[in-house]
Amino acid sequence: MPTLQLPDRAILLAAGPDAETLLQNVITPDLSALAEGEARPGALLTPQGKILYDFLISRAGEQAFRLDCRRDVAADFLKRLMLYRLRAKVELSVQDQQLVAVEWEADSTASESDSSAVTDRRFPDALKVIRRYGATIQQPADAAAWDRLRSAHGVPESGSDYALGDAFPHEILFDQNGGVGLKKGCYVGQEVVSRMHHRGTARRRLVIVRGESALPAQGTEVTADGRAIGALGTVSGRDGLAILRIDRAAEAMEAGIPVLAGVVPLAIRPPAYAKFPISPGGQAETA
């Protein structure tokens, strides 16, 4: 059972009788679908619909939510949420001392009675990926093993796979994995997300890539017929993630033109949970 401490993560806690209402009206996931004992991806968007902050959200007891986010932006994230609090009865704070760990191939699933351990729903249930809060890991796994797991299952992270303020939720597949509530009410940036979804205008998509040889470094441009169509994100040997113009990648593949990361030819596929094909006009199914 590999287990890894994540020192680059921090916890933002929202607690109080109005916590769920406040968050539901501001962030992308539908909290009415968030069960005890699970963590789901989400984001706070700009009014233009781009991801300003991303996180995993879980319930942390009665009338409380835990937002597991990047440590380097946690203070700024807190300040932004405070702007929306107004007179809501909710306390917002960064839990600086709370440790974050992840384990997979766990012996058991997270218990609904233990809010310090939650199942990471970005991964298949069979993998039993658990986030644990407050625990110190004595014999941590190699951090590269976590990157391999994310790469194999199409689970991106900001910083490694996309820059905050630069990506739309559809580009990192939040429309596919529950990161946006496509049927819930308004939230910041909702109009842009809804328009992109219903018009089928998402062309840049996160995909899983495999090189014919070891992949070059994260950030390397991906090209087809000499034209840039995206860039590599997380890299783990021959495997990795990339955000690409999937229509252009499909056109190149149909024409027998290799898609390259640097000089390395790539095979491309969507994650198993995604419902869009790699084809010139391929779009995700409407939820």
Looking at residue 200, its pLDDT comes to: 75
The total number of residues written for the chain in this structure: 287
Of 100, 56, 72, nearest in space to 159 by CA: 72
Architecture of domain 3-177: 2-Layer Sandwich (3.30)
For residues 149-178, give the mean pLDDT. Answer: 97
Residue 184, pLDDT > 80, answer yes
pLDDT band at 287 (very low <50, low <70, confident <90, very high): very low
Pairwise CA distance, residues 54 & 201, whole Å:
22
Q: According to the model, what pLDDT value does residue 273 have? A: 95
Whole-angstrom distance, CA of residue 10 vs CA of residue 208: 27
Instruction: Return the pLDDT at 285.
Output: 46
Q: Each residue of 63-75: pLDDT tens digit?
A: 999 999 999 999 9
pLDDT in tens, 225-255: 999 999 999 999 999 999 999 999 999 999 9
Band the pLDDT of 110: cuts 50, 70, 90: low
User: What would the pLDDT profile of 206-221 be if each residue is shown by its tens digit?
Assistant: 999 999 999 999 999 9
In sequence order, what are the beta bridge partners of 228? 223
* Domain range list for the chain: 3-177, 203-287
What are the structure tokens assigned to 183, written together? 């049927």
Nearest one of 129, 154, 127, 140 to 7, comparing CA atoms: 140
Higher pLDDT, 118 or 198: 118
pTM of the model: 0.91
Please name the CATH architecture into which domain 203-287 falls.
Beta Barrel (2.40)
Q: What residues contact 243, with CB distance under 8 A and at least 6 apart?
A: 156, 161, 162, 167, 171, 172, 204, 205, 206, 207, 230, 231, 233
Mean pLDDT computed over every residue of the chain: 92
pLDDT of residue 27: 98
Residue with tokens 């991964």: 123
Degrees (nearest 5) of the Cα angle 13, 16, 18?
110
Q: What is the pLDDT of residue 63?
A: 95
Q: Confidence class of residue 139 from pLDDT cuts 50, 70 and 90?
A: low
Cα–Cα dist 106/120, whole Å: 12
Can you read off the two tokens belonging to residue 127? 């993998």
Tokens representing 200 are 């089928």
